[in-house]
Structure 1
């Protein structure tokens, strides 16, 4: 747009000052404070395009609630504002209207201010840009600038009040300019248009100008009042020239890491040396009131602690400056305590020698008198080079062979199962799948996401078969492992995004062990399998578990095997095997530990006193009642199970199908399954428990009926009741 003449700015200035005095007291404090704090994150946002389309994106950044709250508070005032119309404004050049028809589309849920601005841009091109330009020019006008520096009328000195005063002053400027300009142009009748234009003009100014001088004192005072120990934070930071910083000052221009090879004291804080020049590193910060009782060395290559003096407090993690529109320095602002003084920071580092990235750091901070630097651990090669020491030889670990999984599609959650000396079709059948019905991986994954239907992909490896489940876990289940290991050996490792794991070994249908990685194991037979695998060190934990799988099965597998499997793109839908049935636990003296167990509560003791045949009869009575309430009393498979008191092959298949997809009649088939438990008491308890869910709304009556049958000591055939 053509530059705005000084004469127009002066003509508009006095009218804007008077209008600001009227508008500012009517702006509510909470949204005003939100606006006032925009300057704290002014590097967070960038331009979203050019021209008016990019300018009005400011409303989108604010969200819907804030503009609507301000519109509700100010619409009556804006409608009633008495402002002069200044013809000279209308003479300023703007985009011409060519007389063509304009069609405006609105998205469902668009705010009133957004819709109003879209209409303004469509029907009066250039008007919004004029409001923005004049607001920016007038912010430097002497009278307006004095208003912008004027504290709120209540003289607030707290953080919220100062932020609100700052935001309300600038918004009042925007409302005044928008009202005068848009009325002069014949577009100011709608308060939503005025408020929308005012916000669009105001927000860039608030992001660009510094906070009021008194804000910093109020801000830190508020933090100090509410500060509690301990505190923790985590995030990712982009390194800049091989380092990141924890500082209350600017990013350090230089730092000398020769003393300890990891951390250097710089003005206002510390700098930490990274392995690569511009990598993204993971950083955790822990803040304690006193020194931690122990030094955490497990899982770290270098651990060094130093002292530094804070002049203010609230030092931030800083990394590379942002590219335009992509955030500010680092992602961890104001991490250290909000007081000046001397602090210790213990810096832990791992992965600096790893060319593939994956560097991680932990900074532990506490207040302490100034003391000398302490080096707790110094083992990586980079540290030796920086200290001028001879580098140690490159160490290889067993898990290095399986670190490929950390960069694969299996990285976050999967199960890998290896079956020794098997063939793919046999493995597929043992999982409960049909090798004659392969399917594309994409289709199977879609069914897994939408219907929770598990699937596997298999590939032959050296003297074995590898089965892979993407975000699945059937290979970690005991029934599958028993089936897979019959006549051979099988091992599986399951892991998920929450850090849960399960390493399992099975031999000829017997589960030898199944445990979380890191759980102590005392079976001597596992010692050669787990030897030199340090599960206490969390680094490359999954790779270590896969080493154990290889050792147990005697078969190695690698990234090429997974790539071959993914290139083929074929998998198999799994129909899970039924879960194992367990007896009721016994006490050391051999008596049953069943008091209060199951849906009958304390009446379970009465069930335990029944003869075994009556316990079994109670289980099959519950099956029949569940089938009746689910309209399956005439189902041939249910009838066959009741007649034989077994889970027939046809019923077993239906029970398995009920565990996936729509889970049709799951609780009925679960009751049938539990009724076949070899332990009669466990059969009765488990079946009653499943059946009460199957009967639905009459569950209470069902349990009462079961208690009545328990009390009827003369009953000889409960299943006929």
Structure 2
């Protein structure tokens, strides 16, 4: 934990204080890569070449309805993406694509406090963090992301109501790209993302087994989706002894009734935090993939996402991602069974 650069923190304090809309909801992505221009970022964001860019207007003047309309424009230090009607641009799928050959960092939050700060580099997600609770994170704190994470932790420790400012500080420290009131007030072209990437999708080939599972799940009917959720939840409970936690059994009972378990606070306090704490007590003793506590924590996080039912959109990685980390080599067999349920 470290104090953030005071000038950077002061900048974002002033930015949020000067425009109350930013504190209500925000999606901001900063990209830095050699020889990458606005059109190239828009193409990667959409996942298609020659993405159409509409007329340049202020991000606040972009049509708020319909498919996502992220503004894309040159910003101090790189290229910025601002989405005022959603947060697709900050999803793992989009961040993976726009970070190829460089770095990208995205943050979003909404009126309910749902949020995610995600670091990407070289076409992959490096780390995903809950900005309100920085200890809740997935991935690796590499040397490159460490200054941003430490700054966020320092801001939240000093004043937990400044987590939004801390998240924006982290984005700038990682990418060198600054969000300013001048940028928000200037015209930038915007892209229309006609076919948003499915939740949890990545920049993997379309025939990648996990991508096939996600696509099949997204296309399936509600009955098949509930069947997959119940099957995977039961598998994780059994293999990792999650029945030790009463809330895990309550989740399975809800899923058996095809009903989402909506008490996110209880899940966090009675499942996610205890599992994370147990892992951190001995973190680093063995590689993560070989650490049963780490794999059990991933199983708990998968169950937490599954608890929301078919319509739940994960703040960070999806349930299949966490299940794959938990199960390791056993994921191939479980995934094949889930695909059979999907027909």
Which TM-score applies when normalising by structure 1?
0.26
| Pairing partner for 1:534 from 136, 145, 155 | 155
Matched, 1:560 2:182: yes
Asked if the contact 2:53/2:190 (under 8 Å) is kept, the reply is no
Q: What is the distance in 1 between the residues matched to 2:61 and 2:75?
A: 25
**Higher helix fraction (1 or 2):** 2
Aligned to 2:28: 416
Once the two structures are TM-superposed, the CA of residue 523 in structure 1 deviates from its matched residue by 2.5
Equivalent residues of 2:156, 2:162 under 8 A apart: no
* Residue-by-residue CA offset, 1:358-392 (whole Å, 9 max, x unaligned): xxxxxxxxxxxxxxxxxxxxxxxxxxxxxxxxxxx
Task: Confirm whether residue 519 of structure 1 aligns to residue 137 of structure 2.
Answer: no
Cα deviation, residue 557, structure 1: 3.1
Which of 208, 215, 228 in structure 2 is aligned with 1:598?
A: 228
CA deviation digits over 1:500-521, x for unaligned, max 9?
A: 2211000101211011013226
Pairwise CA distance, 1:687: 6.2
Matches of 2:54 and 2:146, distance apart in 1? 39
Where 1:486 maps in the other structure, the secondary structure is coil
Structure 1, unmatched stretches of 5+, are: 1-394, 585-595, 606-676, 692-721
2: CA distance, partners of 1:492 / 1:418? 6
For the 8 Å contact 1:471–1:496, the answer to whether it is kept is no
The question of whether the paired residues in 1 share the 8 Å contact of 2:29 and 2:80 is answered with yes
Q: Judging changes above 3 Å, is the alpha-carbon distance between structure 1 residues 481 and 447 closer, same or farther for their aligned structure 2 residues?
A: same
TM-score, normalised with respect to structure 2: 0.51
- Cα offset, 1:561, TM superposition: 1.3
Q: After superposition, where does 1:170-181 map in structure 2 within 5 Å?
A: none
* Alignment of structure 1 residues 13-412 onto 2, 5 Å: 396=6, 398-403=8-13, 404-408=15-19, 409-412=21-24
Note closer, same or farther for the CA distance 1:600–1:469 as it changes in structure 2 (3 Å cut).
closer
Could you say if the C-alpha distance between residues 540 and 600 of structure 1 is closer, same or farther in structure 2, counting changes exceeding 3 Å?
closer
User: Contact (CA 8 Å) 1:583, 1:679: kept in 2 or not?
Assistant: no
Does the 8 Å CA contact 1:529/1:548 hold for their aligned counterparts?
yes
Counterpart in 1 of 2:197? 577
DSSP-derived class of the 1:399 partner: helix
Counterpart-to-counterpart distance in 1, 2:71 and 2:22? 12
Whole-angstrom distance in 2 between the partners of 1:437 and 1:524: 35
1:601 Cα deviation from its structure 2 partner: 5.0
**Superposed displacement of residue 685, structure 1:** 1.2
Task: Please give the alpha-carbon distance, in whole angstroms, between the structure 1 residues aligned to 2:340 and 2:70.
Answer: 31
Shift in CA distance, 510/531, structure 1 to aligned 2, threshold 3 Å? same
Partner residue in 2 for 1:438: 54
Does structure 2 conserve the Cα–Cα contact (< 8 Å) formed by 1:414 and 1:470?
yes
Per the alignment, residue 341 of structure 2 pairs with 688
Could you list the runs of 5+ residues in structure 2 that have no partner in the other structure? 202-209, 214-225, 236-323, 325-330
Label 1:396 to 1:478 Cα distance change in 2 as closer, same or farther (>3 A).
closer
* Cα deviation digits, residues 279-302 of structure 1 (max 9, x gap): xxxxxxxxxxxxxxxxxxxxxxxx
Please state whether the residue corresponding to 1:415 is helix, strand or coil: strand
Instruction: Return the match for 1:495 from 103, 106, 109.
Output: 109
Q: CA RMSD in A?
A: 3.5
| C-alpha distance 443-417 of structure 1, shift in aligned 2 (>3 A) | closer
Match of 1:529, SS state, is helix
Q: Secondary structure at the match of 1:455?
A: coil
Partner of 1:483: 97
Deviations 1:122-149 (A, max 9, x none): xxxxxxxxxxxxxxxxxxxxxxxxxxxx
Tell me if the contact between 2:80 and 2:177 (Cα under 8 Å) persists in the aligned partners: no
DSSP-derived class of the 1:411 partner:
helix
Structure 2 Cα separation of the partners of residues 599 and 557 of structure 1: 39
